[in-house]
Amino acid sequence: MSITSRAFHLVSRPVGEPTQDNFELVTSTLPDPGEGEIAVRNLAISVDPYMRGRMRDVPSYAPPWKLGEPAQGGAVGEVIASGSDRVPVGSLVVHNFGWRDYAVLPAEQASVVPRRDDIPATVYLGALGMPGRTAYVGLFRTARFRPGDIVFVSAAAGAVGSMVGQLARLSGAKQVIGSAGSADKINYLRDRLGFDAVFNYHDGAAAELLAEAAPDGIDVFFDNVGGEQLEAAIGWMNLGGRIAICGAISGYNASQPQPGPRNLPLFIGKRLTMTGFLVGDHGDIAQEFTDRVGAWYAEGKIVAEETIVHGLEQTPAAFIGMLRGENTGKMIISLD
C-alpha cells in the first residue's frame, strides 16, 4: 500500500493577519506504518486561535511551526493501516497531525474515541475535545467556579466560550453573560445556548455594555479576548472575583503589543485574582471531563454548534476566517 498525503506547509511567517500565501499545499508519499505506528485518514481538521502563536518564531508554550514542514493541530480520523494492537484498523482517533488528509504517526500519540451514531466525530474536536476541556479546566479549576457565581465569558460564541457558558449554566451559575461580535452570534447565544444576557462588543464601550448586561457585577471572568473587554471586566468584578486567562485573540494579529488594562490597582481593593492556564497541564482531569460532559451531551443538554467548511484546500481560509470571528461554535474543516 502506498499513501499519498497532501499537507499544508508553513512557508512564511505573517506580519499582522495571516494570508493564504503563508501556506503551501505539498503532496508527498508516506511510508507504510511500522511497528507501533498507524496510518490515519483524517475525517475532519481543527483550526484554533492558539495556532496563530505557533506561526511566530518565538519560544512559547507550543513550539513554533517550522518553515517548510507541515503545520500541526488537532484532527479526527479513522485508522486505515496499523502496526499497533491497541489501535486496530477502523478505530476512530483524535491526534495532532492535522492540516493534511493522511498521516502516519506513532499510535501512542493518538487517542481512541468511541464510534457512536449519536456523537459526530467532529464533536471530539470541539465540545468533547480540547476546546471543551479547556472550558472545563478554566471554569472549574482556574476560576474556581462556585454555584451562584455570575459568570462573564468573552468570545462566547467560539468553540471554548460556548462551552464555558453552557457548563456554567448547567452547574448552577446565578447568571451567565456572553459577548460576541455579530448580531447572529448574539442571537445564537441567547436563543440556542441559554445565556442570560449578551452583548455585541461592536455596539459601544465594553464597560457600559457589560454594566448593562450584568447589573449585579461579575464573580468570574473567562477571558478569551484580552484588551478592552478585560479592562471592562476588571472594572465590573465583584469582591473576590476570579479571572481565568485562556486567550487574548484581540491581539493575536497585532504586530505591536497592545495596551494593558489601566485599572489593575482595583485588584487590591477588590481582592481579585487573575490566572493564566493551559489545558495541557491538566491531563488528570480528562476522565472527569469525559464522564461529566459526555453525560450532559448524551442527555442532549449541550449544544455543539459547528461552522463547517468542506475540503482540505479550505484549511488556511478557515483558519484566517476563524481569527476574524467568522465561525459560530467550533470551526471545522470536513474532509468527508
CA distance 293 to 177: 21
Cβ 286 to its own copies, closest distance in Å? 18
In the complex with its own copies, the residue whose CB is nearer, 6 or 270, is: 270
Half-sphere exposure (CA, 13 Å, Cβ side) for 303? 21
Is residue 278 a contact residue for its own copies (CB under 8 A)?
Answer: yes
C-alpha distances in Å from residue 220, one per residue of 31, 154, 210: 50, 11, 13
Span interacting with its own copies, options 30-38, 154-162, 277-285, 291-299, rule CB under 8 A? 277-285
In the complex with its own copies, the residue whose CB is nearer, 18 or 316, is: 18
Span interacting with its own copies, options 14-22, 182-190, 270-278, 316-324, rule CB under 8 A? 270-278
Continuous H helices in 137-205: 159-170, 183-191
Span interacting with its own copies, options 158-166, 188-196, 244-252, 319-327, rule CB under 8 A? 244-252
Cβ 50 to its own copies, closest distance in Å? 9
Cell numbers for 313, please give them.
Answer: 484546500
Contact between 244 and 143 under an 8 Å Cβ cutoff? The reply is: yes
Q: What are phi and psi of 281, to 5 degrees?
A: -75, -10
DSSP class of residue 152 equals: E
Cell numbers for 323, please give them.
Answer: 481569527
Contacts of 251 (CB under 8 A, 6+ apart): 226, 227, 257, 258
Length of the chain: 336
Contact between 303 and 123 under an 8 Å Cβ cutoff? The reply is: no
Span interacting with its own copies, options 17-25, 164-172, 211-219, 250-258, rule CB under 8 A? 250-258
Is residue 267 a contact residue for its own copies (CB under 8 A)?
Answer: yes
Span interacting with its own copies, options 27-35, 93-101, 106-114, 273-281, rule CB under 8 A? 273-281
Which residue among 73, 178, 261, 316 contacts its own copies (CB under 8 A)? 261
Q: What angle do CA 147, 149, 155 make, to 5 degrees?
A: 115
* DSSP H or E segment with residue 9: strand 3-10
Is residue 247 a contact residue for its own copies (CB under 8 A)?
Answer: yes
* Binders of its own copies in range 44-63 (CB under 8 A): 60-61
Is residue 283 a contact residue for its own copies (CB under 8 A)?
Answer: no
Cβ 244 to its own copies, closest distance in Å? 10
CA distance 186 to 193: 10
Cβ 278 to its own copies, closest distance in Å? 6
CA distance 130 to 126: 6
Contacts of 182 (CB under 8 A, 6+ apart): 200, 202, 325
Is residue 281 a contact residue for its own copies (CB under 8 A)?
Answer: yes
Is residue 158 a contact residue for its own copies (CB under 8 A)?
Answer: no
In the complex with its own copies, the residue whose CB is nearer, 101 or 149, is: 149
Site size with its own copies, rule: CB under 8 A: 33
In the complex with its own copies, the residue whose CB is nearer, 138 or 316, is: 138
Q: What are phi and psi of 159, to 5 degrees?
A: -60, -45
* Binders of its own copies in range 212-231 (CB under 8 A): 226, 230-231
Cβ 98 to its own copies, closest distance in Å? 21
Q: What is the contact surface with its own copies in residues (CB under 8 A)?
A: 60-61, 226, 230-231, 245-248, 251, 257-278, 281
